[in-house]
Amino acid sequence: MASKTSRAKQAPSRGLPKAPKAYREFVVRYPALARAWNSISEAGAEGALDARTQRLIKIAASMGAMREGAVRSGVRKARSEGIALEDIEQLVPLVAGTIGLPSAVACWSWVRDAIKRD
């Protein structure tokens, strides 16, 4: 099972952004939780949706839940996977009717900040 934990640490070699330091330290301290998280992620990837669609849905769900860190992380991952900025930005007006204008503006700012950081 240690390979799943080490796989999380190897994300940059697959073209994904390097995980934040706090996350890397967390998975070292709590390897069982890291393995459980990887299992959840693997289960979510099963099915008919392609990786691009899965990534966009995860970002939209993060916006709906107002999870700033997840939105920023999802945007960075999406960009590293070649998803166009225009496709990511379209998520904001798509979720706006559900989350409201102030929350949509916040999500748009998180997207823009994540892009500027790269």
What pLDDT, on a 0 to 100 scale, did the predictor assign at position 14?
55
- How far apart (Å, rounded) are the C-alpha atoms in residues 79 and 64? 20
- How far apart (Å, rounded) are the C-alpha atoms in residues 22 and 15? 20
Per-residue pLDDT of the chain (118 residues; tens, 9 = 90+): 444 433 333 334 456 788 889 989 999 999 999 999 999 999 999 999 999 999 999 999 999 999 999 999 999 999 999 999 999 999 999 999 999 999 999 999 999 999 997 6
